[in-house]
Amino acid sequence: MTGFGEAHQQADGLAVVVEVRTINNRYFKFTMRTGEGYSALESRVESMVRDHIKRGTVQVSMQVERSNSPDDFSINAGVLEAYRQQLLKLQSRAGIKDEVPLQSFLLLPGVVKERLSDPSTVEADWPVIERTLKAALDQLAKMRREEGQAMAIDLKANCQTIAAELKQIEARAPSVIDAYRVRLEDRVRTALEEHKLVLNPSDLVREIAIYAERSDISEEIVRLGSHLVQFDQMMGSSESSGRRIEFLTQEMLREVNTIGSKSTDVEIARHVIEIKATIERLREMIQNVE
């Protein structure tokens, strides 16, 4: 489900801002943006996110700012001397005698070492980052929970629509056999009168019985009704059941397709079309449920 969570923390000269965004996805996908040196924490951040989110595309943006102090920077004397010696050799070969200002070397890579890039510094900052991330995830969960409550109302309304249509099909099904019997008797009677033939009544009964067996949808009606009950139970479960509900909607669609293929009644076909359209709406929403 979609959602957004943001949190700020300040402690010991450290300012942390974490934003977590989620968008709909059938699977879990994680990306993180952060400043230099803190990418080493990506696996920890992802692990925390996975504890809260099972499905969806998750984007974490993390900004860490530390108040500078004289101890945050140091000069790497060995690197600086290496640069100076190399430059003296080049000057000697080229016959250049001008002295290069020492401060010019400070801009070269590796001469000035920042404590921020030190792994021990990142490790020391993790507790503050962890608290901030948890707060952002809590805000995200609140927003997603509100969206989920609204979605649950919509899902239940669609299930009620399916149940109502299924009830109409169940009520209509017995009369379909009776209507077929009447039509068949009329056709047979007309044919017999035209050709002056005699029909054994048992043959007519057998034909009607074959049709009744082929068009019997009672099992499909019972299974689809059972699926609706299971759907409602899963909706009330506190466990993550998005994938199970998704599978259940596939089974519901399979049952209603079978009902449609077995029945030739126009009225039942109309109810089947409405149920299939409603199940498709369910499937679209279920993609976002954890």
The domain that holds 164 is classified in CATH as: 1.20.140
pLDDT in tens, the chain (290 residues): 678 999 999 887 789 999 999 987 778 899 999 987 788 899 999 999 999 888 889 999 999 887 666 666 777 788 888 887 888 888 777 777 777 777 777 777 877 776 555 566 788 889 999 999 999 999 998 988 888 888 888 999 999 999 999 999 988 887 776 666 666 656 656 665 666 655 566 655 666 566 555 667 888 889 999 999 999 888 877 665 677 888 899 999 999 998 888 877 888 899 999 999 999 988 888 776 66
In this prediction, residue 59 carries a pLDDT of: 95
Specify the amino acid at residue 164: A
Helix axes of 42-52 and 119-195: crossing angle, nearest 10 degrees: 40
**pLDDT of amino acid 278:** 94
State the maximum Cα–Cα separation within the chain, in Å, rounded to a whole number: 130
Rounded Cα distance, 201 and 241, in Å: 55
Asked if 130 and 207 sit in the same domain, the reply is no
- Quick one: 185 and 84 in the same domain? no
CA distance 195 to 232: 58
> What pLDDT score does 111 carry?
74
Predicted pLDDT at 119: 64
What count of other Cβ atoms lies within 10 Å of the Cβ of residue 162? 23
277 in the same domain as 153 = yes
Q: Which domain holds residue 236?
A: 147-286
Q: What phi and psi values does residue 153 have, to the nearest 5 degrees?
A: -60, -45
Number of domains in the chain: 3
Residues 30 and 151 in one domain: no
User: How many CB atoms are closer than 10 A to CB 157?
Assistant: 11
Q: Do 175 and 125 reside in the same domain of the chain? A: no
Answer yes or no: is 72 within a domain: no
Say if residue 206 is in the same domain as residue 244. yes
State the Cα–Cα distance between residues 256 and 227, nearest whole angstrom: 11
- What's the sign of the alpha-carbon dihedral 111, 112, 113, 117? negative
Residues 193, 167: one domain?
yes
- Give residue 50's pLDDT: 92
Hunting for tokens 């399979």 — which residue is that?
Answer: 254
- Provide φ and ψ at 113, rounded to 5°: -105, 125
Question: Could you tell me if 36 and 162 lie in one domain?
Answer: no
H or E segment to which residue 85 belongs:
helix 77-94
Is the residue at 281 inside a domain?
Answer: yes
Q: Residues near 114 by Cβ (< 8 Å), separated by ≥ 6?
A: 72, 73
